[in-house]
Structure 1
Amino acid sequence: MSLDTVTAASVGLDPHAWGDLASDEAAAGMLQIALAAVDVPGVDYADVRLIEAEELRLYSTLEAGVDERVENNLGIGVRVLYRGSWGFASLPIWDTADVSIAASRALSNARAADSVSNAYRTELPPLPAASGRYLTEVAIDPFGVSSSARYDLLAEILAAASKPAEIVMAQAGLNAKRQHRHFANTEGSVQHQHFIESGAMALVNAAGNGTMQRRSFPNSFHGNTAQAGWEYVEGLRMVEEADRIGREAVELLTAPLAPAGYADFIIGPAQMALQIHESTGHALELDRILGDEANYAGTSFITKDAAGSMKYGSPAVNITSDPTVPGTRGSFGFDDEGVPASRKPLISEGIIQNFLSTRDSAARIGAESTGAARSDGWGYLPVCFSTNVFLEPGSGSTEELEDRLGNGFYIDDNRSWSIDERRHNFQFGTEVAYEVTNGKRGRLLRGFSYGGTTPEFWQSVEAVAGPEEFKAFGMPCGKGEPKQWGFLGHGASPTLVRNVRIGVDK
């Protein structure tokens, strides 16, 4: 399709209908219209993102019934670097004319920024053109599942979770999202990515014996969302797991209170995912390290010269950024600056090797971008977000790790968390803890919590279970002013830590 034939009629634009940008050819033509509008002297670089997204969210409780929400949007975001000054503009698309309007506004904003005499000037090293297509592999389209099937599943989850009389609150949720994300820049990159996500959650509160206890599945608060089709939801066996967490919540009401002091324990994959997110993913975001991000969730204790020298954890700590691994919310073919996805070591044998970075932030320290520029749709500038950040597995089963532990605890599923504005001091509480005596898991405990500083914690890691025990979780994360949501993945195998402070959050 030539630029002359790209019209509202040829593209069939209707922001209230799904599929306008499903055609890579039509989207490519619109991308070129925007780039042509900013092809003027003084423009050092420009990029365009055309994004169409549709999201379905259903939540159900015993008291309120089902709350169903469907959102869809279609729009464009244009960045222009004019004589070292950035300009950005975004618009919902109602007609192809909006493409040129958004581009012109971005150029105007960049010129206005350039007119400020003391403005910071960005020098963006060139990047070789990278073009291609990325597509989520899906067996069952979640948007093709009937409403009755979704409602029936929610009802079955709630019924299973609320069987015990002590359950005072039960919630079930299902979600699906699909996106067409198209990108082009003045360096010659043209990229088309098509994503589908599916997820589910169950949450219960039980009350009695002077306390209230919570259990959740498959992860705390938001459940879990994978980059996959409805087959992922079916594989979660939500009804069976809802029955389990209902019974466990009741059992926690009379469980002994976890002790305080210092202890050795094993952290399960769900809790490790949050530990990685809060004390590693955010701490290694280069915009925080450089001080660019401070208003929302703070900066970082890590310094910009830490790569290659700073001891962050024990030799058992190997953490990677790898969006090429399929199946989680941090999986993609290209980031939102067009950088191809690649596997990068962030921490190797406890030593920091790389940061999570964007093209701009990486250039400021003389490094290459690790491809972590992400945005919550067309209306936001890309910022530095975690991708798939994983603690690499070690070897052996969970049972072997418990045998190595000897005496201590096995904990999992987050109940509460707090971390300071530099990602240094933290405390976490978990929904469950089990005593481990002579390598054997025993009675259930409630109110387990642990805390410390980020370097002390990661240096306390003695061993990580093998790849057969690894689990990944898709998470949402808020960042920036104005706040936008990033969608990312964290994963780990059960992890053994020694001599960590416990009992800090009752």
Structure 2
Amino acid sequence: MAEDAAARAVVEVALDAVDGRAEYADVRLVEAEELRAYRQAGADPDVRVEHTLGIGVRVLVDGVWGFAARPLADSADAATAARRAHALAVAARGASEPVRLPELDAHSGSYRTVVELDPFATAESVRQALLGAALDAASAPREVVSAQAGVNAKRQHRHFGNSAGSRQHQHFLESGVLVVATAAGHGDVQRRSYPNSFHGDTGAAGWEFVLGRDLVANAARVGEEAVALLTAPVAPSGTADVVVGSQQMSLQIHESAGHALELDRMIGDEANFAGTSFIGVDDIGSLRYGSPAVTITSDPTVPGTRGSFAFDDEGTPARRHTLVDRGIVRNTLSTLDSAARTGATLTGAARSDGWAWTPVCFATHVYLEPGEGTLDELCDRLGEGFYAEDNRSWSIDERRLDFQFGTEVAYEVRGGKRGRLLKNFSYGGITPRFWGSVEAVADDLRIFGYPCGKGEPKQWSFLSHGAPSTLVRGVRIGVA
């Protein structure tokens, strides 16, 4: 079903089944293949391969959505799903405020991830040799009590058509890698991870993404650093100036910017998984979210990221949008429904976890625009304070306001130079106060891929955040 012509025929069957009986209809045919290979020190390899093929159909009847999805064996399943979606919309008429979509233009085209080395064609022996070498390196210090390494890959063929005339074919491929080492001793347990804490790092690329992460050398480093943390001093509490490193800043963006700027949270449609948002529709264009050093952008047209695409899952073409411009909220992450109901700009952030879920608002590739200067120059500007990196824990309230993050490592900065290693560093604050205290942003932009759960029933989306190291003044650190 990967071929565009065969998929187009099935999409047409579904659209024909509701033709003339709905105000609007769209169809998503998705085929996905996923590979995960993980190893833990002292255990057998865990290798899993999954494959799904199905179709999801949405129809709008008298302002009410109906949605149905089915695994796809033949074109009859497409017509069945379409008729079921129509019947559900008819049955629900009058149950909610009607949705009125704007007049939609047709947008057609194709998109394909640029890949040098197909991860699915990589021999299993090659994968296992890499993971074994990484585990040996991470486990070399005797205080390392557990280590895990893994690689993953996902291939998706997404085909879309709607009653406005759009026909789209997108072929995605992503690859990822991780290593984690846990050390115990001296009455303590500490963890180090690479290249991203929790689930590793993933990008829109092939096996070359894995090779470019130099897993074995970094596995040795994280093992040694996990051990060093056991005897490192505990980070202090109080108020301090902090340079937040790129990886930690990427999660800061995700939790306190990306989610807070999802329009469905702003209008109360979504409250699962840490609630709504402190930002309101009336705040667009006026709310001071951060300092003039803070510009946050959504741009799924950037190639090679986990949030890259040509069309979102409602068929909206990908475009660059400035969400926060020099500290002022200018746009949101929006979908057809939420933009139509509020009058906000449609920014094309409808995403779904495959054919079985209706699209909801998720972040795309959302990043903090880089500034000038290196990390060392930013530390020199900091003077006295701390450099913190690699997330260990996070918590944020139901309006995306009050947050607390812990990092795997921190370093004292004295006289502009990074000094001794510290453990158990944490910091917290109120979102607009934190971003309003950003003094400077470095030019060391790094991009990290993330999974994100949302909705009820829960679905996953895959997105990315770019983050440079960032200097923030007067941050609350530790536990008072």
1:309 counterpart letter in structure 2: S
* Secondary structure of residue in 2 paired with 1:65: coil
1:217 counterpart letter in structure 2: Y
Contact 1:451/1:504 (<8 A) preserved = no
Q: 1:454 aligned to 2:434?
A: no
What's the offset of the Cα at 1:294? 1.1
Q: 1:500 aligned to 2:479?
A: no
Contact 2:332/2:345 (<8 A) preserved = no
Residue in 1 that maps onto 2:135: 158
Mapping 1:109-148, distance limit 5 Å: 109-114=88-93, 117-148=94-125
Q: 1:317 aligned to 2:294?
A: yes
Q: 1:486 aligned to 2:461?
A: yes
What's the offset of the Cα at 1:340? 0.3
1:58 counterpart letter in structure 2: A
Contact 1:297/1:479 (<8 A) preserved = no
1:336 to 313, 318, 327: 313
Residue in 2 that maps onto 1:437: 414
- Once residues 326 and 341 of structure 2 are traced to their aligned partners in structure 1, the CA distance between those partners, rounded to angstroms, is 26
What's the offset of the Cα at 1:237? 0.3
- Once residues 327 and 343 of structure 2 are traced to their aligned partners in structure 1, the CA distance between those partners, rounded to angstroms, is 23
Q: Residues 234-274 of structure 1, C-alpha deviation per residue, up to 9 Å, x if partnerless?
A: 00000000000000000111111111100001111100010
Residue in 2 that maps onto 1:202: 179
Q: 1:259 aligned to 2:236?
A: yes
What are the ranges of 5 or more consecutive residues in structure 2 without an aligned counterpart?
none
2:5 counterpart letter in structure 1: E
1:344 counterpart letter in structure 2: H
What's the offset of the Cα at 1:411? 0.8
Mapping 1:229-378, distance limit 5 Å: 229-378=206-355
- Once residues 219 and 337 of structure 2 are traced to their aligned partners in structure 1, the CA distance between those partners, rounded to angstroms, is 46
Residue in 2 that maps onto 1:28: 8
Contact 1:359/1:368 (<8 A) preserved = no
| TM-score normalized with structure 2 length | 0.99
User: Bigger shift: 31-40 or 132-141?
Assistant: 31-40
| TM-score normalized with structure 1 length | 0.94
Q: Residues 127-184 of structure 1, C-alpha deviation per residue, up to 9 Å, x if partnerless?
A: 2111000100000000000010011111011000000000011000110000000000
- Once residues 474 and 253 of structure 1 are traced to their aligned partners in structure 2, the CA distance between those partners, rounded to angstroms, is 29
- Once residues 188 and 301 of structure 1 are traced to their aligned partners in structure 2, the CA distance between those partners, rounded to angstroms, is 38
Instruction: Name the CA shift for 1:251/1:362 in 2 (closer, same or farther; >3 Å).
Output: same
Contact 2:405/2:427 (<8 A) preserved = yes
- Once residues 282 and 295 of structure 1 are traced to their aligned partners in structure 2, the CA distance between those partners, rounded to angstroms, is 11
Please report the RMSD computed on the Cα atoms of aligned residues, expressed in angstroms: 0.9
Q: 1:416 aligned to 2:393?
A: yes
Q: 1:96 aligned to 2:75?
A: yes
Contact 1:52/1:181 (<8 A) preserved = yes
Q: Residues 31-74 of structure 1, C-alpha deviation per residue, up to 9 Å, x if partnerless?
A: 11111100134x11000000000000111101322111111000
* Secondary structure of residue in 2 paired with 1:202: strand
2:185 counterpart letter in structure 1: G
Off by >4 Å, runs of 4+ in structure 1? none
Contact 1:470/1:494 (<8 A) preserved = yes
- Once residues 171 and 293 of structure 2 are traced to their aligned partners in structure 1, the CA distance between those partners, rounded to angstroms, is 36
1:301 counterpart letter in structure 2: F
- Once residues 28 and 105 of structure 2 are traced to their aligned partners in structure 1, the CA distance between those partners, rounded to angstroms, is 18
1:44 counterpart letter in structure 2: E
Instruction: Name the CA shift for 1:235/1:118 in 2 (closer, same or farther; >3 Å).
Output: closer
1:438 counterpart letter in structure 2: G
Q: Residues 293-335 of structure 1, C-alpha deviation per residue, up to 9 Å, x if partnerless?
A: 0133211111111110001000000000000001111110000
Contact 1:387/1:489 (<8 A) preserved = yes
1:80 counterpart letter in structure 2: V
Contact 1:296/1:481 (<8 A) preserved = no
What's the offset of the Cα at 1:118? 4.5
Q: 1:475 aligned to 2:422?
A: no
Residue in 1 that maps onto 2:49: 70
- Once residues 392 and 273 of structure 2 are traced to their aligned partners in structure 1, the CA distance between those partners, rounded to angstroms, is 22
- Once residues 186 and 432 of structure 1 are traced to their aligned partners in structure 2, the CA distance between those partners, rounded to angstroms, is 52
Query: Number of matched residues?
Result: 480
- Once residues 17 and 95 of structure 2 are traced to their aligned partners in structure 1, the CA distance between those partners, rounded to angstroms, is 27
Contact 2:351/2:362 (<8 A) preserved = yes
- State percent identity of aligned pairs: 64
